[in-house]
Structure 1
C-alpha cells in the first residue's frame, strides 16, 4: 500500500509540476489543477478557496461545482466546513457533509448532491492561505493514504501561491507580494520613517517543491543534515564555558539534528514526490501548527527550537540567507520576528525604522531603538511573511501603523506628514540655545534620556541641559558575559567627557522583569514586573552593585557625579543602597583614588508606596526622579505590555495628576529636587500639565525636547493650573479635554 501511495503521490505531483511549467495565466492554471486533482483522486469535485482578505475566503477555482459560483461564492472565516478548516488549520473528513458540525448550505454552488467532504488547509509554515476541498456523491470517508496525498498537494499549492503561480492575465487573485498592506502594531518608539525592507532573517523561498529523483533528493538532504550537525556541534563547543541556559538550547538543537524520526519523516516526504527543501518545510509546518496549539511552555519552546533548526537546514539546502551577498538598501527598515540588543546595535544608526512581529515596549530592542531614536513598531502580525527584501515601506511609529508597498495616495499623505515634522524641527532649532522659560517667568529644566555613547551628540543637537537618565544596563545586556569594572569605568568617563560639564544622572543596573542578562540564571517568576528586579537584585547581589559603584566613582575622577537607584519601594532600600555608596567611597579613599568633587545620590520613584515613605526619606535623599512608565502601570494596575489595558488609562487622569501633585508637595516641603522621567515627559501636553502642577525638571528622548520647549515657552502655567483645578472641581475624570480647549484658544 505504501508503494502504491508513493507512486500515486509522485504521479500527481509530477502532473502538478507540468502545470507549473505551463505558461498559462493564473485562472487557467487553477482550473487545470482542480481538474487533475479530481481526476487523480477519482472524485467528482475539487475546489480551491483562497483568502480574499484576513476574514474572507473566495471560491477561486472548481471542478464539479457550478462554474458561475467561481469568484462569487465567499464565506467568512469559521463559516461552513471550509471556513472551519481555515479557522482551525485542521482537516475535515466526513462521509455526510450536511450532517457535519458547522455545515452551511450554499445553493449557488450546486454542492447539495455531494455527500463526502475532505477539506485541508493550504498553508505554508503555519500560515493558512486557503482551503483545498474534494467531494464525491458516494458517502464515504477518505482513506489515510488519500488524505496524505492531498496534504502533500496542498503544501505544493501553498508554495506555488508564494511563487506567484496564480498571477497573470486573468489571474484568480492579485500577487500576494504585490498588494498594498496596512499592518497595525504597537508603538514602542515614536517617529516616522520611509525606506525599503531589509529582512533580518530573509525568508527561504522554495522554488522547486516537486522532484522526480528521490535518490538524489535524499542524498542532498543527508549532506545538508550532516553540515547542520557539524555546525551545531561547533556551537556547542564554543558555548562550553557559557551559561547553562544557552547550553540547554544547543543540546536540544543537537537532539533534533540527530533525530532519526525527523529524518525518516522527511525521507518519506521525498519518496512521495517532494524535493528535499519542500520535505523540510512540510515537517516545519507540522511543528508550527503544533506550536500554535501547545499550551505547555516547555513544549512550545522545544517546537520553536525545531522551527529554528529547520530554517538553518533550509538555508544550507538553498544557499539563501544573509550570507548570500544581498546588499542592504541605503534606507533600510529592519523587519524581524524579534531581535536581540547586540544584533540591533550591529546595524546601528543605519536603520530608518524597525518593525517586529513580537517584542515588548520594555524589551531590549525597544531600549536600543529609543537610544538610537529609531521608530519602532512591535506586534506587527505577519510582517515577516508579508514583506520581501526591497519592498517600499512606511513606518508610523506615532500611531503604530506600517504601510507595506503603499499606493500613491498613502505615500503622498505620509510624505506630507514627514515634511510637516521636518518643518517643525527646523522651527525648534531656532529656540535650541534658549532656556525654557514660560510666559509667567517660570524656569523649566529639560534633560534627555540616554543609554549609549552614540546618544551623547544629541546633548548639543537637541538643546538638552543634561542627561536626566543614563541607562547603565545596556552595557550589561549586549554582552555574552559580565563586563569588567575597568571597561565600565572607561565608558562612564567617556560619557562624562562627552557631556562637557553638563550633569549626567547614572541609573544603576536596572535588570529583571523584561531585561534579563544572557549570562545570569533566569528565574521563572509569575509576574516579573513585580518581582526580583532593579535595586532588589543589587541589594541581594552586593558584589555587582559595588563593582558598578567603583566604576562610577573612578570615572568621575574629581568631577561631579549623580547616582540614582531604580525601583526603590521603601525608605530602608534606599538607606541600604546609600550605605553601599558610603562604604565604596571609603574604600576608594583608602586606595588613594580621586573622589568626585560633588556626589549626589538619588532614587527613582516608580512605586506608589515610596510616595508615602516617612518624611525622613525625603530629607535624606538628594534628588528624586519620578519613573513615569512604571509608576503609571502600578498606579492603575494596568500592565504597559498589555494592549487590552495599557491605553485605557490617561496620564492626565485627575487621580494620577493629584498623586503626582502630592509628591511635588512633599519634595517642596523638604527642598528635595524632583524631576519626571519617561515617555509622558516628552509629550508636550502632558509636559505642560506636569509643569503646571509644580514639576520644574523633565527628562525625555532628545527629539521631544524641541516640541516640549516650544509649547512651554508659549504658555502661562498659572492659567493652565487654573484649568486643571477647575476640571478637577467639576468632577472630570481627565483634565485633557479642558487643557486642549484652553490650548486651542490661547497657545495658537
Structure 2
C-alpha cells in the first residue's frame, strides 16, 4: 500500500496506464554563424505554433473547467509572449552559437533552478508550468508529436511521473477515472483541476511509476490517501462497499447544501467557507455557504515575483464581492510568514519562523503593503458586504495602531471622493494564548472575533503539528484549548458581539455539537464540509449541545473528552 499527497478526494478502481512522454533529445553542438538566422526562425516558428496550441487548449478547457482553471493557460501564453524570455533565447543562439532547442532548454532550466532555490512550495509548483511551456517549445521545434490523452478509450487510472496542466486539460475524463503521480503538490495547477472536476487524485508519491506496471489493477482511495496495487479480492470487495456507502452519503448530504443551519429548537448558526481564489468561491456557493468566513489574501502575494498592486487586489476583491451578491466576505489581510514565505520579501533567517516576522507584524513594519491592501479592500467594499480581519494579534496596541492606519486610508479616500463602506466592520484572529487571555480587552476594540484553531492549538500546547515525533500531542480537544475557545466566545457575547471559527476544527463533525453548545456563532470551513456540518446542526437540539459542552468543559483529560463526544454519536 502506497500513499502520497491527497490532491482530490474520491475512490476509483481501474487498470493502470503508465503515461510517458517521448524523450526529447537535444543537439548541444555549436552551430555555424551562417545557421544563426535559420535557428532564430525555427524558435520564432515554434513559439508561434506553441501559442496557437495553447489558445486551442484554453478554448477547449472552457467547456470542461471553470474560469480559474482556464486562466492557467492564459498565464502560459503570457509567459511565451514575454519579451525577456525571447531575448534570452535569441541571445544564446546569437552569442553562444547554441541551437534553438539547446537555447530554449538552457533558458527554461535556468528559470526552474531559480524557482527551486526559493523555499516556497507554491512557487516551486509553478516550475512544473514552466517545464510544460519549455517542453512544448522543444517538441514543436524538434517536430516531436505531443501525446494526446484524448484518445484513451478504456477506463484507466493514469500513472505518471508528473502531469502538466495542458496534459490534464486534454484528458478524456469519461475514461480516466483518477490519476497518481510521483511528483506534484496540493497547490499545483493539476491538483486544482482535479478538485474542480472531482476526479480522485494522489500526487507526490515519490516512486509510483516504479511500483506499477501497465495493466495492474489499482484502487485509488482518495478518502484515506491509500493506493492499492493488485489487492486481494477481500480488499476490493471492502472498498467497493466503502465507495458505495461514501457516494450514498454524499448524495444524501446534497439536499443540505441549500438548507439553513437551524437546530431542531430553532437556534440559527451561520455556515461559511474558507476560500483562497475565485474557484473556491464558486465551490463555496455550490456547497451552500451562507457567506465567506475567511478570504485568504496571501495567495495573491504568492506564485509571483513581485507584490500585487493595489489595483490588482482591488479587482480581485471586487470580483469576489460581486460574485457573493451582497453576502458577507471576511477578508483577512496578508498572512505571510511561518511556512508561507515569498521570495521578493527578503525574509530574515529565523530559528522559529512561526514565532517570528509574520502576518500583521510584517504589515505594520511594511506599511506600504498594509496601505495598498486596506485601500483595495475599502474600494471594493462599495460593491458588496466586506469585513476586514487582522491575523496574529497579541495586544490592544496592535489593534489601535491598525485602526489608526485604517482611518488614514478612509480620510484619503473621502478626500478623493471614492466610494467605500464608511462603517466597514473589523475583526481579529484569535490564534494565540495571549489574545485569548486578554480577549475581554480586545473585544472592546473590534466588531467580532474569528478563532484560528490550527495556530491556537499549536501555540497553546507548544506542539509543532508538522513534527512527526510529537504530532500525536496536537489535539484541539485538549482541555486547555477548549477552555480558551469558550472564554473567547463568552467574552464576545458579553459585549453583544459575535465569534466565528475558521480553523480546521470548525469543519470537524465530531466537534460540531460541542462548538454549537459553547455558543459559537459562525463556522467557516472547506466548502466540501458544509453539507455534513449543516446536517449535524439541523438534527441537533441546541439545549442538548449546551449540556454536552458543559460536561466536556468539566473534564481534565483529552481522553475523557473524546470518550464523551464519541458516546454522544453512538
TM-score (norm 2): 0.71
Listed as ranges, the matches of 1:666-705 within 5 Å are 666-705=491-530
Match of residue 380 from structure 2: 555
Question: By how many angstroms is 1:466 displaced?
Answer: 0.7
Unaligned runs of at least 5 residues, structure 1: 1-181, 207-216, 251-296, 298-304
Q: Relative contact order, CA 8 A, sep 6+: which one is greater?
A: 2
Matched-pair contact (CA < 8 Å) for 2:399–2:445: no
Matched-pair contact (CA < 8 Å) for 1:338–1:358: yes
Question: By how many angstroms is 1:604 displaced?
Answer: 1.3
| Equivalent position SS for 2:388 | strand
1:325 aligns with 2:151: no
1:525 aligns with 2:350: yes
Question: By how many angstroms is 1:663 displaced?
Answer: 1.4
The farther-off stretch of 679-688 and 715-724 is 715-724
Matched-pair contact (CA < 8 Å) for 1:444–1:697: yes
Matched-pair contact (CA < 8 Å) for 1:364–1:515: no
Match of residue 48 from structure 1: none
Question: By how many angstroms is 1:521 displaced?
Answer: 3.0
- Structure 2 distance, partners of 1:526, 1:321, is 51
Question: By how many angstroms is 1:598 displaced?
Answer: 3.9
Listed as ranges, the matches of 1:210-609 within 5 Å are 230-231=103-104, 233-235=106-108, 246=114, 324-327=146-149, 372=196, 380-383=205-208, 385-387=210-212, 393-404=218-229, 406=231, 409-557=234-382, 559-596=384-421, 598-609=423-434
- Structure 1 distance, partners of 2:17, 2:343, is 26
Alignment partner of 1:626 out of 425, 443, 451:
451
Match of residue 741 from structure 1: 567
1:184 aligns with 2:3: yes
| Equivalent position SS for 1:470 | strand
Question: By how many angstroms is 1:705 displaced?
Answer: 1.0
- Structure 2 distance, partners of 1:476, 1:594, is 25
Query: Residues 452 and 234 (structure 1 numbering): CA distance in 2 closer, same or farther, change over 3 Å?
Result: same
Question: By how many angstroms is 1:487 displaced?
Answer: 2.4
Match of residue 266 from structure 1: none
Question: By how many angstroms is 1:476 displaced?
Answer: 2.5
The farther-off stretch of 469-478 and 404-413 is 404-413
| Equivalent position SS for 2:2 | strand
Question: By how many angstroms is 1:698 displaced?
Answer: 0.2
Superposed CA offset, 1:604-661 (max 9, x none): 1122211122633111111111112222222222222223332443332333222211
Query: Residues 687 and 589 (structure 1 numbering): CA distance in 2 closer, same or farther, change over 3 Å?
Result: same
Query: Residues 615 and 661 (structure 1 numbering): CA distance in 2 closer, same or farther, change over 3 Å?
Result: closer
Question: By how many angstroms is 1:674 displaced?
Answer: 0.6
Q: Which has the larger radius of gyration?
A: 1
- Structure 1 distance, partners of 2:159, 2:553, is 45
Matched-pair contact (CA < 8 Å) for 2:9–2:195: no
Superposed CA offset, 1:123-182 (max 9, x none): xxxxxxxxxxxxxxxxxxxxxxxxxxxxxxxxxxxxxxxxxxxxxxxxxxxxxxxxxxx1
Query: Residues 346 and 369 (structure 1 numbering): CA distance in 2 closer, same or farther, change over 3 Å?
Result: closer
Query: Residues 437 and 347 (structure 1 numbering): CA distance in 2 closer, same or farther, change over 3 Å?
Result: farther
Question: By how many angstroms is 1:713 displaced?
Answer: 1.6
Superposed CA offset, 1:263-295 (max 9, x none): xxxxxxxxxxxxxxxxxxxxxxxxxxxxxxxxx
| Equivalent position SS for 1:501 | coil
Matched-pair contact (CA < 8 Å) for 1:628–1:680: yes
| Equivalent position SS for 2:510 | helix
Question: By how many angstroms is 1:591 displaced?
Answer: 1.3
| Equivalent position SS for 1:183 | coil
| Equivalent position SS for 2:511 | helix
Match of residue 74 from structure 2: none
Matched-pair contact (CA < 8 Å) for 1:371–1:451: no
Superposed CA offset, 1:105-131 (max 9, x none): xxxxxxxxxxxxxxxxxxxxxxxxxxx
Match of residue 486 from structure 2: 661
Unaligned runs of at least 5 residues, structure 2: 32-97, 120-126
Name the Cα RMSD after superposition. 4.6
Matched-pair contact (CA < 8 Å) for 1:371–1:450: no
Question: By how many angstroms is 1:504 displaced?
Answer: 0.9
Matched-pair contact (CA < 8 Å) for 1:488–1:548: yes
Matched-pair contact (CA < 8 Å) for 1:345–1:368: no
- Structure 2 distance, partners of 1:563, 1:401, is 40
Query: Residues 234 and 465 (structure 1 numbering): CA distance in 2 closer, same or farther, change over 3 Å?
Result: same
- Structure 1 distance, partners of 2:143, 2:227, is 24
Matched-pair contact (CA < 8 Å) for 2:148–2:170: no
| Equivalent position SS for 1:684 | coil
Question: By how many angstroms is 1:392 displaced?
Answer: 6.1
| Equivalent position SS for 1:556 | helix
Matched-pair contact (CA < 8 Å) for 1:202–1:321: no
Matched-pair contact (CA < 8 Å) for 2:431–2:453: yes
Matched-pair contact (CA < 8 Å) for 1:688–1:711: yes
Listed as ranges, the matches of 1:700-715 within 5 Å are 700-715=525-540
Q: How many residues align?
A: 485
- Structure 2 distance, partners of 1:464, 1:619, is 29
Matched-pair contact (CA < 8 Å) for 1:339–1:365: no
Matched-pair contact (CA < 8 Å) for 2:437–2:484: no
Matched-pair contact (CA < 8 Å) for 1:352–1:374: yes
- Structure 1 distance, partners of 2:431, 2:184, is 23
